Amino acid sequence: MEVILVPRAESPATTVMATVKVGSKYETKDISGLSHFLEHMAFKGTKQYPLPSDISTELDGLGAHYNAFTNEEWTAYYAKVRNDAFDKALNIIADMYLNPTVPAEELEKERGVIIEEINMYEDMPMWKVDELFSKVLYGDQPAGWSVAGRKEVVQRVQRDEFLAYRAKHYTSGNTIITVAGGYNPADVKEKIAAAFRGIMEAPDTPLPDVREKQSRPQEIVMFKESDQAHLVLGFRAFDAHDARHFPLMVLADLLGGGMSSRLFKHVRDELGLAYYIDAETHLFTNNGFVAARAGVAKDRVGDALRAIVAEFKELTERSVGEDELKKTRAHLIGGLFLSLETSDQLASFYTGQRVMNLAPLTPEDVAERIERVTAADIQAVARDLFTDDRLNLAALGPFKGESFGDILHIS
């Protein structure tokens, strides 16, 4: 196993996080959503805590903040506790990670819970449009599927499939244990080794490839009765290992990272077309994208798209001024440090880097790389990525047979 220790003597809390390097990108269509379903089942009983209420009672008795999450590439189980409760939290998380019993009766009940979770996302257009954007980018392959999976799989999947999936992926080579916060560092590695001594020994599971194929702008326009249209407009990018990673971060923040960003000022403040609008980049181990997101007046979608496209194009044609660049770098760096105030956020920060096999960077390292980004770097990455053969749109709203293909062009 890989162990990450992030001591912060001044912190009143410690987070214990057990991470398996497996998520929805590792699935096949017949088990789509199994990574997420298995995460739920870890709370439904273990060898040491056979009832779901046993686990929650123990953690609540510590005053813990605890949960788990699944994304495209990893699944994590964590508990944040006061420092002197570290040993107990470690043993509970280890038991959940190593020894879920996956009780048949709980599995049947949890099917309904997850289906309702999927229904909830279907009723949240700001979430649903992100899912559509993944679909338009990657199509019918794991990178284009919902992390929560498909209802038909949730209704059908059997207990033996859970156990086989665990045996394949929940192994020493796929596991990262992270401890962050104000814990006592004495003997912490020995404590981790003892708590996880029963883990199955095997190397890590290779991450499946993501197929990238596009020659012209693409769109998915989906009907949903609503008072507002939701849009994601963006471009295929590169993976997290690319040297252009930091210029792209600065570019996305400049476009839509705050109330003084270009998109916010133009589309919301000047044109009054949107309530929320932002831009973000998501880079993974072997794929990535940069996109603008907005909720806009349903009868002015075309105007909003033209305005967003114009901002993308502007970055390819004109160099960013030094004052704007300085402000953007400061905004990014400030946001980074504010986001890492707590032990659970620190644990996720370092774990995410290692899941993607990146050289570990401290927040100070990241800030230093952001400070290095120049106006020329930003224009270069904009010219590399903002092209018609990388452009994609997902739109969700009261559309009937509509297309926005005539707007989807940069050149």
pLDDT digits (tens, 9 = 90+) for 16-72: 999 999 999 999 999 999 999 999 999 999 999 999 999 999 999 999 999 999 999
- The whole-number pLDDT of residue 85 equals 98
The 10s digit of each residue's pLDDT in 104-130 is: 999 999 999 999 999 999 999 999 999
Q: What is the mean pLDDT of residues 204-221?
A: 96
Tell me if domain 2-195 and domain 218-397 are identical in fold.
Answer: yes
Could you give the CA distance from residue 364 to residue 330 in angstroms, rounded to a whole number? 13
Tokens of 388: 């018609």
- The whole-number pLDDT of residue 55 equals 96
Rounded alpha-carbon distances, angstroms, from residue 396 to 8, 86, 293, 294: 44, 45, 12, 11
Q: What is the mean pLDDT of residues 300-319?
A: 97
- The whole-number pLDDT of residue 59 equals 97
Percent of the chain with pLDDT over 90: 98
Average pLDDT value for the chain:
97
Confidence of residue 184 (pLDDT cuts 50, 70, 90): very high
DSSP 8-state secondary structure symbol assigned to residue 110: H
Give burial (CB, 10 Å; 0-12/13-18/19+) of 181: buried
pLDDT at residue 309 is higher than 90: yes
- The whole-number pLDDT of residue 238 equals 98
pLDDT at residue 156 is higher than 90: yes
Multiple choice CATH, 2-195, 3.40.50.920, 3.30.830.10, 3.40.50.1580, 3.30.1360.120: 3.30.830.10
- The whole-number pLDDT of residue 169 equals 97
70: left (phi over 0), alpha (psi -120 to 50) or beta: beta
- The whole-number pLDDT of residue 288 equals 98
- The whole-number pLDDT of residue 323 equals 98
| Domains of the chain, residue spans | 2-195, 218-397
- The whole-number pLDDT of residue 146 equals 96
Beta partners for residue 274, in sequence order: 296
User: Is the separation of the CB atoms in 248 and 369 below 8 Å?
Assistant: no
pLDDT at residue 336 is higher than 90: yes
Architecture of domain 218-397: 2-Layer Sandwich (3.30)
Percent of the chain with pLDDT over 70: 100
Backbone angles phi, psi at 14, to 5 degrees: -130, 140
Residue that has been written with the tokens 């995460």 in this structure: 39
Question: Could you give the residue ranges of the DSSP H alpha helices within 235-290?
Answer: 245-256, 262-263
pLDDT at residue 329 is higher than 90: yes
pLDDT at residue 411 is higher than 90: no
Q: What is the mean pLDDT of residues 77-103?
A: 97
For 220, the 3-state DSSP assignment is: strand
- The whole-number pLDDT of residue 316 equals 98
